[in-house]
Structures are given as C-alpha cells and as structure tokens.
Amino acid sequence: KRTLLPLLRDEISSFVFPCHPALQQPELKHMVTELLKCIPLLLFLIFVCVLDHFIFSVLNIIQRHSFVQYAYQTSHHISVNVMGKSLMAKLLRSTIGALNASVDTQVDTSNYACLPKARGMTREQYLNTCLPLVALALLCLAQVYPFRLRRVIAAFYFPKREKTRVLFLYNKLLRQRKNFFQLQRRRIARRARQPPGLGSSLLEWCSQHWPWLRCCRRRSCTLCGTPGSPWHQVCPTPSCSALYCDRCW
C-alpha cells in the first residue's frame, strides 16, 4: 500500500501501475524488444518489394524492346498451254491442264505470344502487403495493456500466492532501500570530500557576501537531482548545506 511504503522516485520507475494509461519504463523495454523483432520482417518485406519492382522493370523492358514482326508474301502460278487440235493435243490438254494452279500466300507473324507479359503491383497492392506488418507493430504497442491483467487473473485464482508475493516484494523493497541509502551515503560522503570546483567556490563566496544572490542560485536535491522548491529541506548540520527533497529527506 502506498500509505505503508511510499515509493521513492528511483523505485517508481521499476514498477508497473495498472491504472496508469501511459506506457511505463518496464513496459517500454519489453515493447522495444518486440519492435526490434519486427525489423527482420520489415527488411525482408522491403527486399521483396524492391526485387519485385526490379523483375517487373526487366520484363517490361524485354517486352517493349524485343518485339519482332514478320511479313511473308509469295505467289505461285502454273499454267500449261497445249497447242493443236489433234487427238493427242486434246488428251494432253485434259490431263496436263489440271495442273494449272494459282496460289497467293501472305503470312503475318510475330513473337508477341513468346514475350513476357509483366504486370506491376499497384499502390493498393503494396499497401495491402504492408498492412500485416503495420498491424503486427500496432499489436506490439497495444499488448502492454492486456499484459497488465496477468497479475489480476493470477491473484483471482491464487489469492494465497498473491499475498506471499506481496509480502516478498515488501521485504525485498526494504532490503533494497537499506542498501540504497547506504550507497547514497557513501556517494554523498565521497562527493563532500572532493574539493569544490572554481565555479562552485565563486558562487558560494558571492552568496556569502551578497545574500540576495541566493534566490538566483538554482539548487537541486543532492540524491535525486530534483530542482529546488520551498518544500526542500536543508541539512541542519552547520558545516553542511546539502539540499534534499521531501521524499529523500
């Protein structure tokens, strides 16, 4: 419960609040991982579309510049004339005269049937090809909210396990907070031992001689770096002027 254990700013970023509509940091890591898995599919789709356009361009060039048309025309005329009025002439005219023929041939042909008939994809077809990948990316963004229901479903079916998990999380937070405070004390002590820089010394000297300059001096929390406000606390130790926000204090 929030009244039992108020979370620090560094602890809030590691939790997921189900009622918060915005995406939170733990969810962003998982979402980015899922989106990175879509990159190979995107690259493959781009490669397929580029390859399709390249093959269509090649086949279209072949179709436009490899068209050949042939026109073939021939005439064949046979005429046998047998002169005379004799019986042999009449007999030859009746037999050989049947060979008389006249043939005119004209043939027009082309290689149109052998040429490739390529049809390029339209914008709508390209769009329909990319729609499944867009839907997959949107599902990666929208899956965050259904995932928040997993704990609720598990708590409904296993209430005792939910109480155990909450107690374990509470004790874990206490241990982490204890280690966190020890770490921060060491860091602040290490920073206090370091000699102040030229700019810090100059600002401190000016603030001591001209107190009205203190209002222009921007200070922040020593632990979390939150900008100073009227609710910030100053360390009461005379030799220390560290500033802390209400949570860190």
Complete DSSP assignment for 96-130: HGGG-EEEEEEEEEESGGGS----PPPHHHHHHHH
Longest CA–CA span in the chain (Å) reads: 157
Examine residue 168 and state whether it is found in any structural domain, yes or no: yes
Q: Output the average pLDDT for the chain.
A: 82
> Model pTM greater than 0.75?
no
pLDDT at 171 over 60: yes
Sort strands 233-234 and 101-110 into parallel, antiparallel or unpaired.
Answer: unpaired
Quick one: 53 and 120 in the same domain? Answer: yes
Q: Summarize the chain as % helix, strand, coil (round to 5).
A: 60, 10, 30
Which residues, listed in sequence order, are joined to residue 220 by a DSSP beta bridge?
227
Q: What is the pLDDT of residue 67?
A: 85
Same domain, 68 and 137: yes
Give yes or no: residues 170 and 91 share one domain: no
Does residue 86 surpass a pLDDT of 90? no
More confident residue, 33 or 98: 33
Do residues 137 and 167 share a domain? no
Residues 173 and 92 in one domain: no
pLDDT at 189: 80
Instruction: Give residue 173's domain range.
Output: 158-196
Q: Does residue 97 surpass a pLDDT of 80?
A: no
Q: What average pLDDT does the segment 40-51 reach?
A: 93
The structure tokens listed for 138 are: 């949107």
Average pLDDT over residues 62-75: 86
Judge if 185 and 234 occupy the same domain: no
Q: Residue 158: its pLDDT value, please?
A: 94
pLDDT of residue 128: 92
Q: Greater confidence, 211 or 238?
A: 238
In a domain, 137, yes or no: yes
Specify whether 165 is located in the same domain as 189: yes
Query: For position 214, what pLDDT does the model report?
Result: 55
Tell whether 6 is covered by a domain.
no
pLDDT for 211 equals: 61
